[in-house]
Chain A
Amino acid sequence: MPPSTVSSGDTAWVLISSALVLLMTVGLAFFYGGLVRPKNALNTMMMSVVALGVIGVQWMLVGYSIAFSPGNGWFGGLSWFGLNNVGLEPNPTYSATIPLQAHAMFQGMFAIITPALISGAIVERMRFRGYIVFLVLWATLIYDPLAHWVWGSGGWLLKRGALDFAGGTVVHISAGVSALVAAWFLGPRRDYRRVPIAPHNVPLVLLGAGLLWFGWFGFNAGSALAANGLAAVAFVNTNTAAAAALVTWAGLDLFRTGKVTAVGAATGLVVGLVGITPAAGYVTPMSGLLIGVIAAGVSYTAIQIRSRTKLDDALDVFSCHGMAGIAGAMLTGVFATKLVNPAGGDGLLAGNAAQMGVQLLAVLATIAFVALGTLGILALVQMTVGARADVREESAGLDLSQHGEEAYFGNDLGTMAGAGNSLGGSVVVDAFSGESTSAPEPAG
């Protein structure tokens, strides 16, 4: 029997939040899937969906142990392998009122979405097999140790007082920087800056952005690990920053091109959510509003600059997650106040300029570790199973070449005239061969 310290309210909220964060990865699949071309829609969505499976298993086996079991400042151990020793009693190090297994699941959803975020930079040109190897290695060698630094018991950044409420450094800066490195390593798509490449389904992008916003309440407010006032303020900040960033982005669009775009609105709201992630439980709602506005401005500018370069970060993961994540982490050092969260810290405006230094250290350490680690992993993948799709695979589209499927089947003449069915792997039935068509006698 779990001891009576388990709070049913807190546990309910964290379990629901875990499910909300899971939904974010599905939302991400739609968000990214709508932004690519039709021939790569399934592959792009699968890059997110497959993480639900692969990292779901990896996390249960070793991920949670490396990230959260007691160890040194850099790694947890393997003492929680297979969720061994992870029971239904609370562990006061992480939360005194929820079962440790609930914490494991909640954190597992973060581990799933983080590498999926990277996929946006490398869409339309990475081999699926190579991507899966990359996923497993990246989660095990980069995400799990990084989570330990910032959140694990004894983590060295935690000890220095770095503030990261829900994963600005661990999730967004790490994914954004890895995305930048991966886009550079794989090289641009062959069509990049040669042929116009436009989002093939903007309604899917809006659906995905909506699901991300919805799920992000679990991501940020759930990171209070309790159903309390802190969860409420994180919830308010999350919504405020997303809304402010959407408005800011729309305004910048209007100013620059004279029109407010749907892709811009979707991007803006996501950027606001990224920006508020490290700060959600440490700042007042007015600061949350400002963080949303600033994150949108930073990210918008970064996208304009990036799109003029040869660097094919296809869906601007670095601009959206890396830059907004860095802005959010640094602004946490500006706006944090113990009036909101006594267990948090004071920032620059609360008279603690030193917090800025700690935040900068966390940002730089994350960037350095993640950039080198991603480079090493990609080099390994390229040398073994292959990372980059070849010309033929890329021009045919990754849906066909990697999965043998099409996102939109049945709309061309080929399916009307030429397709037969292969049943049971041996019988080939031509849909038209059975019919003898004798022309009717011409009348008259």
Chain B
Amino acid sequence: MKLITTIVRPDRVPEVKAALFRAGITGITLSRVSGHGGEHERVEQYRGTALVMEFHEKVKIEMVCSEPFVEPCVQAILSGARTGEVGDGKIFVQPIERVIRIRTGEVDNAALTAVNADAIQRAAINAAVSEV
């Protein structure tokens, strides 16, 4: 299991979301964040005052995936978020120790399997997990 954290441009969020859903990753958490990267500072003018906006608005998406989903997840984010300009963001992948689904108490991979997954999907995931 991996925690995948990605920082992307707010205007790329619809594409990233669509690509993640296509890859079967539906459990995601979004937050608005601001941060500083390699981008040029933006300048805003209010009457006589120029404001240099040092921090840029970004969206942080967090998701925890079972092993077979990690690479598809990374590829989905890359395909959705990349514009080629400085400021496209980053993807971080970290190991995760435990996952518990609060509603049922299921743990780890069972807790990560989508609720609406059918028997065939569950079997495929279980097979893939045991392979890894």
Which A residues lie at the B interface, using CB under 8 A?
196-199, 253, 257, 259, 261, 263-264, 267, 303-304, 306-308, 316, 440, 442-444
Contacts and interface: CB of A to CB of B under 8 A. Distances in A.
Contact of A444 (B45, B48, B52, B104): B104
B48 A257 contact: no
A444 B105 contact: yes
5 smallest beta-carbon distances between A and B, as pairs:
A442-B105, A307-B48, A443-B104, A303-B48, A196-B51
B47 A303 contact: yes
Nearest to B44: A198
A264 B48 CA distance: 10
Contact of B47 (A196, A316, A440, A442): A316
Nearest to B51: A196
Contacts of B52: 196
Contacts of B106: 443-444
A151 B86 CA distance: 64
B47 A263 contact: yes
A267 B48 CA distance: 12
A126 to B, nearest CB: 21
A342 to B, nearest CB: 41
13 contacts: A196-B52, A198-B51, A261-B45, A263-B46, A263-B47, A264-B45, A264-B47, A306-B48, A307-B47, A316-B47, A316-B48, A440-B103, A442-B104
Contact of B46 (A261, A304, A308, A444): A261
A199 B51 CA distance: 11
B5 to A, nearest CB: 21
A45 B45 CA distance: 23
A263 B44 CA distance: 11
**Of B48, B50, B52, B103, which is in contact with the most chain A CB atoms at under 10 Å from its CB?**
B48
Nearest to A439: B102
Contacts of B47: 263-264, 267, 303, 307, 316
A241 B130 CA distance: 78
Nearest to A257: B45
B116 interface: no
B49 interface: yes
A196 B44 CA distance: 11
B123 to A, nearest CB: 17
Given A198-B46, A198-B51, 14 more contacts: A197-B49, A198-B44, A257-B50, A264-B45, A264-B47, A306-B48, A307-B47, A307-B49, A308-B48, A316-B47, A442-B104, A443-B103, A443-B104, A443-B106
Nearest to A259: B45
A199 B45 CA distance: 11
A113 to B, nearest CB: 21
A272 B52 CA distance: 30
Contacts of A197: 49
A440 B102 CA distance: 10
Given A443-B105, A444-B105, A199 B46 contact: yes
A321 to B, nearest CB: 14
A267 B105 CA distance: 60
B119 to A, nearest CB: 16
A440 B101 CA distance: 13
A430 B27 CA distance: 33
Interface in B41-100: 44-52
Contacts of A267: 47
Contacts of A303: 47-48
Nearest to B106: A444
Contact of A304 (B48, B103, B105): B48
A253 B48 contact: no
A319 to B, nearest CB: 8
Nearest to A193: B49
Contacts of B104: 442-444
A264 B44 CA distance: 12
B29 to A, nearest CB: 16
A306 B49 CA distance: 10
